[in-house]
Amino acid sequence: MPFATTEARPNIEDLSLVRRIIAAYRLALTSSLGSLDSFWLTNFFELKRDVHEALLGDDDRAVQALLRDPSQSDLLYGFDNLAKTLLPLRPQPVRHSAEMYDLLVKLSEAVGGRAARCPEYPLNVPLPEIDSVLAELDQVFEIRLDFPNPFRGEYGLNTSRGVVSYRAVHAVYQAWRLHQLVDAVSEPRVLEIGGGLGRTAYYAWHFGIRDYTLVDIPITAVAQANFLGRVLSEKAIQLYGETEAGGIRILPPAMFHGQEDRFDVALNVDSLTEMAPETARAYCNAINNRAGVFLSINHEEGRFKARDVFGGRCVYRSPYWLRRGYVEELVSNIV
């Protein structure tokens, strides 16, 4: 399978985006982040301290350089593979691209683009070409799938739609599930707690979900604003402290807890069980009061399980299609 690493991108005029990110970050730091009993606010934050200090400094151009090329730092550590600490550990290219191909095929199986493989029957047909798998996904989604690569050094499976990395495939599935859950709603409102790089919000945008709220700690919100501001547009996002409309709002936890906005669906992926228990419970209580349904995709290896803290009635619980050890649960009847 073809492996690729993205090259340096042409410099674009992004200083206005950079300055918006700096302003929102500094303001978010004045808000409460809740309990520090989570490695996201301790160990992981220490890896990102150089970015934190640059954001608080007086050199906008230094921040611009870091945001244009996240491989210089560990800003994306914990939710994407483009991080300084992880790049020396990059997997063997042939094996990695084969794994990304298998993940794309599994995605097509998960959404009904192709029949699921059964190990009890011999595989007597050739493996599909990458473009065939992408065409299957296009047909199911009724959009043309793409994989934007705004940064140098992104690596994965090379396709005609961009370089496919691990987290991107998961984001496609998660956005599709959101789309399913709000399909009957004319102007759906979606909440995501802990949005990683913002890839799920990106794909949800292309599924037609234009009212999307991301809630995350300030340093991760920097990564989300940087990614979404580049792959969509600056006008598509609204950062903390801003008042002009933007379909994707990026807020710190305290701002979310201080509001009473209601949502049709709330999503959390791969973070709820890594929070401090009281933080997770506070989020779930808010979701219980302010969202129609809650989709959780989390592992169960932490101090507690997602089902220990969310309220309401679990409509279904099943293995997550794309990652062993993760559980997909849908909670309804919460309002």
The reported pLDDT for the residue numbered 100 is 97
Residues 70 and 103 in one domain: no
* Residue whose structure tokens are 């302010």: 290
- 44-99 per-position pLDDT tens digit: 899 999 999 999 999 999 999 999 999 999 999 999 999 999 999 999 999 999 99
Rounded distance between C-alpha atoms, residue 153 and residue 71, angstroms: 7
Residues 201 and 302 in one domain: yes
Planar angle of CA 74, 90, 298, nearest 5 degrees: 65
Burial (CB < 10 A; 0-12, 13-18, 19+), residue 92, is exposed
Q: Of 167, 191, 210, which closes a domain?
A: 167
Q: Region 115-143: what's the mean pLDDT?
A: 90
All residues at 6 or more sequence positions from 55 whose CB lies less than 8 Å from its CB, including other chains: 21, 22, 25, 26, 63, 222
Q: Of 87, 111, 138, which closes a domain?
A: 87
- Judge whether residue 333 has pLDDT over 70: no
Task: Answer with the residue of higher pLDDT: 3 or 11.
Answer: 3
Q: Return the structure tokens found at 29.
A: 């730091």
Q: What is the CATH number of the domain that holds 297?
A: 3.40.50.150
Q: Evaluate whether 320 touches 299 at the Cβ level (below 8 Å).
A: no
All residues at 6 or more sequence positions from 270 whose CB lies less than 8 Å from its CB, including other chains: 79, 194, 196, 297, 298, 299, 326
Rounded distance between C-alpha atoms, residue 66 and residue 318, angstroms: 40
Instruction: Give me the chain's average pLDDT, please.
Output: 94
- Judge whether residue 37 has pLDDT over 80: no
Rounded distance between C-alpha atoms, residue 249 and residue 257, angstroms: 14
Residues 124 and 141 in one domain: yes
Length of the chain, in residues = 335
Residues 223 and 325 in one domain: yes
- 265-304 per-position pLDDT tens digit: 999 999 999 999 999 999 999 999 999 999 999 999 989 9
All residues at 6 or more sequence positions from 132 whose CB lies less than 8 Å from its CB, including other chains: none
Residues 176 and 317 in one domain: yes
Q: Region 151-175: what's the mean pLDDT?
A: 97
- Judge whether residue 334 has pLDDT over 60: no
- Judge whether residue 172 has pLDDT over 90: yes
Q: Return the structure tokens found at 33.
A: 């982040």
Residues 130 and 267 in one domain: no
SS (H, E, C) the chain: CCEEECCCCCCCCCHHHHHHHHHHHHHHCCCCCCCCCCCCCCHHHHHCHHHHHHHHCCCHHHHHHHHHCHHHCCCCCCCCCCCCCCHHHCCCHHHHHHHHHHHHHHHHHHHCCCCCCCCCCCCCCCCCCHHHHHHHHHHHHCCCCCCCCCCCCCEEEEECCEEECHHHHHHHHHHHHHHHHCCCCCCCEEEEECCCCCHHHHHHHHCCCCEEEEECCHHHHHHHHHHHHHHCCHHHEEECCCCCCCCEEEECHHHHHCCCCCEEEEEEECCHHHCCHHHHHHHHHHHHHHEEEEEEEEECCCCCCHHHHCCCEEEEEEECCCCCCEEEEEEECCC
Residues 21 and 131 in one domain: no
Rounded distance between C-alpha atoms, residue 166 and residue 177, angstroms: 18
Residues 130 and 200 in one domain: no
- 217-261 per-position pLDDT tens digit: 999 999 999 999 999 999 999 999 999 888 999 999 999 999 999
User: How many folded domains does the chain comprise?
Assistant: 3
Residues 222 and 279 in one domain: yes
Residues 150 and 134 in one domain: yes
Rounded distance between C-alpha atoms, residue 248 and residue 242, angstroms: 12
Residues 246 and 137 in one domain: no
Query: Residue 2: what are its φ and ψ, rounded to 5°?
Result: -70, 130
Rounded distance between C-alpha atoms, residue 202 and residue 70, angstroms: 18
Confidence of residue 335 (pLDDT cuts 50, 70, 90): very low
- 114-126 per-position pLDDT tens digit: 999 888 887 677 8
Residues 25 and 103 in one domain: no
Full residue range of the structural domain in which residue 83 is found: 3-87
Amino acid at 292: G
